[in-house]
Amino acid sequence: MADGLAIEPTAPMELPAHDAAGVVCTELSVIIPTFNEVANVGELVRRLETLLHGIAWEVIFVDDDSPDGTAAEVRRIGRSNPRVRCLQRIGRRGLSSACIEGFLASSAPCLAVMDGDLQHDEALLVPMLEVLRHEPVDIVVGSRYVGGGGIGDWDRSRARMSAFATRLSRLVLHAEVGDPMSGFFMVRREAMEGAVRNLSGIGFKILLDLFASAPTPLRFRELPYEFRERQSGETKLDAQVMLDYLMLLADKLIGHIIPVRFFLFTLVGSLGVAVHLLTLTLAYELLGFTFITGQTVATVAAMASNFLLNNYTTYRDRQLKGWGLLRGFVSFCLACSVGAVANVGIASYLFSNSTEWLLSALAGVIVGAVWNYAVTAVYTWKS
């Protein structure tokens, strides 16, 4: 076996059941999260129909409201092919959360995840299903890093980035998986349901999330495949993907103590202090503004930088654009203004009652930060 996992003999998984009308119930759901993949949908369905002949299967495209009409194309195909389903999400983004919603929209005992860009080798789906049918494993991973697998035409920098991310995953991983960053796998429903309430749903690495969230270590098998070149569309790899990955790791490490969004929110707030001081120095010392004017300009600059950084990092999955950006900035400033009043009020009250000045100040900062986070999460970024 590719992973060296010791497996005891077991009875094969039951074959698909029939309902009262004699219709074969779905055994396999293929979950495909999409964003701007309209050119690939038809070809992917055609390949699945060819490969999964004789298997009771369905494909669920979970589309994050693609502007290129991906959801409309899936529905068009679905009108003549009942195996093809569309789950269109409005106002929500992210591969991991899309996979989770796809899992929960299915009733099949076996759940596969693969990308919609044709880079995963769909021919591996049948061997994956055979492993789940006949071996006592919870999850079968399509691996690029076991014998027979490969990363295709990746350049050296992308290969190094993947290797580094794999090493980082050991911080939270509960298994010696060769390719925990894979986006191509098949899992038993009971294993998914055991982990689903602990899933972070952050970013792109749903497989790592599953392994890190399972209440008991998942039994796994890795099957090799060669990563293929993208057929159409654009790659979604960018700096934000790495940030999402780091947020996922942080959530698994400290999420049970402090929400990772709050941690990132306060980190952005700390950077805002630096922006405030830098702007005040520039306005007061170099440009000759009065202190009150410089302080006002610095406060607005700090709020603007905090808002924009939070919009593009902390709340990337709820990112505001267009007029929503202006509305969000106004609500963010109003919330933070009230938070500032609460900060000063709490600190002043504690200091006047003989609390050390440092403790008083810290208490005020904490109250203000919690207020700002809670209110902006609900009203600015609409949780």
* CA count, 13 A, side-chain hemisphere, 160: 3
pLDDT surpassing 60 at residue 185: yes
Task: Give the residue-averaged pLDDT of 171-188.
Answer: 85
Q: What is the pTM of this model?
A: 0.73
DSSP state of 314: I
Q: Which of 85-99, 122-136, 148-162, 274-288: highest mean pLDDT?
A: 122-136
Cα(306)–Cα(62) distance, rounded to whole angstroms? 32
DSSP H helical ranges for 106-169? 125-134, 156-169
Q: For 222-251, write each residue's pLDDT tens digit.
A: 999 888 776 554 555 555 677 777 777 777
Q: How far is it, in rounded angstroms, from Cα 153 to Cα 229?
A: 7
Distances 157 to 4, 107, 143 between C-alpha atoms, Å: 29, 40, 20
Joined together, the tokens standing for residue 122 give 């769909």
The more confidently predicted of residues 34 and 25 is: 34
Nearest to 46 by CA among 80, 23, 88, 86: 80
- Percent of the chain, pLDDT > 70? 89
Question: How far apart are the C-alpha atoms of 237 and 204, rounded to whole Å?
Answer: 10
**What is the residue type of 335?**
A
Look at residue 37 in the predicted model and tell me its pLDDT.
92
> How far is Cα 252 from Cα 220, in angstroms, rounded to an integer?
20
Judge whether residue 22 has pLDDT over 60.
Answer: no
pLDDT of residue 106: 94
Q: 216, 180 in Cβ contact below 8 A?
A: no
The answer to whether 223 touches 148, Cβ cutoff 8 Å, is no
What is the pLDDT at residue 15?
A: 47
Q: Give the whole-angstrom CA distance, residue 103 versus residue 152.
A: 29
- Specify whether the CB–CB gap between 87 and 61 falls below 8 A: yes
d(CA 369, CA 340): 9
> Which amino acid, 262?
F
Residues 28/33/36/41 CA torsion (nearest 10 deg)? 0
Neighbours of 239 (CB within 10 A): 8
- In DSSP notation, 174-235 reads -S--S-TT-S-EEEEHHHHHHHGGG----SS-HHHHHHHH-SSPPPEEEEE-BPPPP-SS--
Report the helix count and the strand count for the chain, using DSSP H and E. 12, 7
State how far the alpha carbon of 307 is from the alpha carbons of 12, 108, 332, 361, in Å.
Answer: 55, 43, 7, 23
Structure-token pair, residue 97: 């959360």
